[in-house]
């Protein structure tokens, strides 16, 4: 049923009103009864309900990734979709990217949430990893890790990444929310802090930044 008069917004919203099912057919005001012009001679009321605004159980966010490297073989783009219960708990992160160079030797790419919601040339304005708890860099499954440490994503033979990550530290609600932070994909694999390089304990020796985006709250439909 499509109706052009019923509205959920504005001064004539029906939110907070009721819906009623009647016993008889509505005669649309043409039945000739005394009540036809008032109620459609619809008879007694069989059932009813109150129209309430739906309370969503989840919060959603999206991050539209793009490259800023100047390298034609690494034209990474796509979207990261995030979903979490409004009460907290694990966050679902759906990664859908393409444009990686399938001919190089770097199939794994470090993937992090960074502290600033700014990007700039080569994504350098995004700052360091989002680390509100002041911890060392580590793997997603380590207790001692940055909130933004999401490990690695893996490209396929077509230069695409299609995967889902479930993470219990990244959040869309509360004091450590990643809304308005940034996400960055790096050129190399994250060594999870175990590589022995000078920057292993801070960045995972992940190399240059290939692509980035800002995490923004969205509706379910995006």
Residue 87 appears among annotated catalytic residues: no
Q: Write down which residue in 19, 34, 54 finishes a domain.
A: 54
Same domain, 117 and 208: yes
Q: In this predicted structure, what is the pLDDT of residue 87?
A: 87
Same domain, 4 and 70: no
Counting the structural domains of the chain, the total is 2
* Measured distance CA(67)–CA(124) in Å, rounded: 12
Same domain, 12 and 112: no
Residue 209 appears among annotated catalytic residues: yes
Tokens of 146: 């940055």
- 80 CB burial (10 A radius; 0-12, 13-18, 19+): buried
Residue 142 appears among annotated catalytic residues: no
- pTM comes to 0.73
Please check whether residue 146 is in contact with residue 135, taking contact to mean a CB–CB distance below 8 angstroms: yes
Residue 41 appears among annotated catalytic residues: no
Residue 114 appears among annotated catalytic residues: yes
Q: In this predicted structure, what is the pLDDT of residue 70?
A: 58
Same domain, 37 and 87: no
Same domain, 49 and 85: no
Same domain, 204 and 94: yes
Query: Of the residues 41, 109, 145, 149, which is catalytic?
Result: 149
Tens digit of pLDDT at every position of the chain (222 positions)? 888 899 876 778 898 999 999 999 999 999 999 999 999 999 999 999 999 877 678 999 999 999 876 565 678 999 999 999 988 999 999 999 999 988 888 899 999 999 999 998 889 999 999 999 999 999 999 999 999 999 999 999 999 999 999 999 999 998 889 999 999 999 999 999 999 999 999 999 999 999 999 999 998 755
Same domain, 145 and 82: yes
Same domain, 189 and 115: yes
| Structural domain boundaries, residue 86 | 58-218
Q: In this predicted structure, what is the pLDDT of residue 10?
A: 74
Closest CA to 172 of 84, 90, 112, 87: 84
Same domain, 30 and 96: no
Q: Write down which residue in 34, 54, 74 finishes a domain.
A: 54
Beta strands in 28-76 (DSSP E): 45-50, 58-67
Q: In this predicted structure, what is the pLDDT of residue 121?
A: 86
Query: Of the residues 41, 109, 169, 186, which is catalytic?
Result: 186
Q: Write down which residue in 39, 54, 69 finishes a domain.
A: 54
Please check whether residue 200 is in contact with residue 191, taking contact to mean a CB–CB distance below 8 angstroms: yes
In DSSP terms, which residues pair with 61 in a beta bridge? 82, 217
Same domain, 15 and 63: no
Residue 118 appears among annotated catalytic residues: no
In sequence order, what DSSP letters do the residues of 119-144 get, joined into one string? Answer: --GGGGGG-SB--TT------TT-SS
* Measured distance CA(219)–CA(17) in Å, rounded: 25
Same domain, 26 and 66: no
Residue 22 appears among annotated catalytic residues: no
Same domain, 49 and 125: no
Is 119 strand, coil or helix? coil
Is 34 strand, coil or helix? coil
Half-sphere exposure of 185 (CA within 13 A, CB side): 33
Check residue 121 and report its DSSP letter.
Answer: G
Residue 82's CATH number: 2.60.40.200
């Amino acid at each position: 049923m499509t109706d052009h008069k019923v509205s959920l917004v504005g001064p004539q919203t029906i939110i907070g009103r009721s819906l009623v099912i009647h016993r008889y057919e509505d005669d649309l005001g043409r039945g000739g009864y005394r009540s036809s012009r008032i109620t459609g001679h619809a008879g007694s009321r069989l059932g009813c309900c109150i129209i309430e605004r739906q309370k969503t159980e989840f919060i959603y966010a999206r991050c539209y990734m793009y490259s800023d490297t100047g390298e034609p073989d690494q034209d990474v783009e796509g979207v990261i979709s995030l979903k979490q219960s409004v009460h907290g708990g694990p966050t679902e992160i759906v990664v859908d990217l393409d444009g990686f160079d399938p001919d190089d030797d770097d199939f794994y790419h470090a993937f992090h949430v960074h502290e600033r919601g700014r990007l700039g040339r080569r994504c350098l304005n995004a700052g360091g990893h989002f680390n509100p708890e002041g911890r060392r860099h580590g793997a997603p499954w380590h207790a001692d890790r940055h909130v933004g440490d999401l490990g690695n994503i893996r490209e396929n033979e077509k230069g695409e990444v299609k995967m889902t990550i479930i993470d219990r530290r990244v959040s869309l609600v509360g004091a450590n929310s990643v809304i308005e932070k940034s996400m960055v994909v790096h050129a190399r694999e994250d060594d999870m802090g175990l590589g022995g390089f000078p920057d292993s304990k801070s960045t995972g020796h992940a190399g240059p930044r290939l692509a980035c985006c800002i995490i923004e709250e969205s509706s379910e439909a995006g």
